[in-house]
Amino acid sequence: MHRYATLDGLRGIAALAVLVYHLFEAVAFANGDAEQQMFHGFLAVDFFFLLSGFVMGHAYDNKMNAANSHNRLTFCRLMLTRIIRLHPMIIIGSLTGLIVYIAQGCTRWDGTMMPWSTILIGFILSLLIIPSPLSNDLRGNTEAFPLNGPSWSLFLEYVGSILYGLILHKLKTRHVAYIAVVSALGYAAIGILTYGDESSTLAFGWSSTTPQLIGGLLRMLTSYTIGLTLWRLIRHKRPSSLHPTVSCCIAAMLLTALLCTPSLGNLNLWYEWICICVVFPIVIWIAASESTHTTPTILHNTCTWIGELSYPLYAIHYPLIYLYIGWINQDLHPFGPYSWCTPVAIAAIAILAAVACMRLYDRPVRNWLTHATQQKR
């Protein structure tokens, strides 16, 4: 099966954007700013969902719909594949989050000490990738996964995989497109109804409140079905005349510019909605449009490596952000209260930790699990 190295590269850029976005968020908190400079960096998660729908169609459409039952990929095998892909780093992210939480005194941000029974329940739910109820809020800001905040998107990745394995792979392209349109309209509507016109945004899914959970499901379903529709529309198209290096550079620069855009005030929601529904699909179409030229080895290897690093980086970086926010709360600033040295150091540590996880844990564990499950077939 053909692998889109350019899409791997874009995934890596999106993961780095999430890291920088969260660092900017902490810096804004330290400075007392209402908004951070990289206001729309969270859209990288929507880009992840869109990529997931595209790649799931590319990787599994033919296998799930194979005429020969012997060659057909079953729902159980699909979910086993997804568990092997996602869960090793979910476990490490949960453990890292637990260690950081204990190191910070097992308290909420307001200083309230949490009982060990509540912490244990939160840890088990995190391992099982189940959102914590509001009654089990460990940090006091309604996070669905208070030990490792970004795990909410991994929960929705599982939901997307289940929907794909049970329903979406069976549907015709136009029916998937209908779902995408309805989801996109509902996604915009809940943004307006929840936040109001002047401060509307589409940053849903991270919290256990009802609007956030509903908005998160619509957020995932919108991008996931757009990505799947896009794959089915372009899979039989003739390749572009653009050289892979050119298409990769154009897509990378466009994605970076979109994610780095500062707040646009009361236009935020519509900017985000257009990015998700229109511009991000164009970015993926450009990156996936390959000419007859062979992708240069250096570009291919770089994109592949960054793409492989993206998931460990995404899964493990946020506990370090908790540490940074904790320092800010306690007026502990290793390099001064407003120095950029601290966030730069945290970014470097997060990347090094992700590289170590990728090489020493994620890659070997996934290879072992894949080999073990294949032997039992």
- What does the DSSP 8-state code read for residue 63? H
Write down the pLDDT at residue 1: 58
* 96-141 pLDDT per residue, tens: 999 999 999 999 988 899 999 999 999 999 999 999 999 999 999 9
Mean pLDDT on 308-326: 95
Q: Answer for the pair 137, 112: CB distance below 8 angstroms, yes or no.
A: no
Among candidate residues 115, 229, 127, the one with its CA nearest the CA of residue 177: 229
Prediction pTM value: 0.94
* 335-357 pLDDT per residue, tens: 655 567 888 899 999 999 999 99
Distance, in Å, from the CA atom of 320 to the CA atom of 297, rounded to the nearest integer, reads: 34
pLDDT at 239 over 70: no
Q: How far is CA 159 from CA 21, 156, 217, 340, in A?
A: 25, 5, 8, 38
Residues 6+ apart with CB under 8 A from 148: 93, 94, 96, 97, 126, 315, 318, 319
pLDDT at 291 over 70: no
Name which residue leads in pLDDT, 247 or 150: 150
Structure tokens at 263: 């707040």
Write down the pLDDT at residue 292: 46
- What does the DSSP 8-state code read for residue 153? H
With b for 16 or more beta-carbon neighbours within 10 A and e for fewer, the 77-90 pattern comes to: bbeebbbbbbbbbb
CA–centroid distance for 207 within its chain: 15
Burial of 197 (0-12, 13-18, 19+ CB in 10 A): exposed
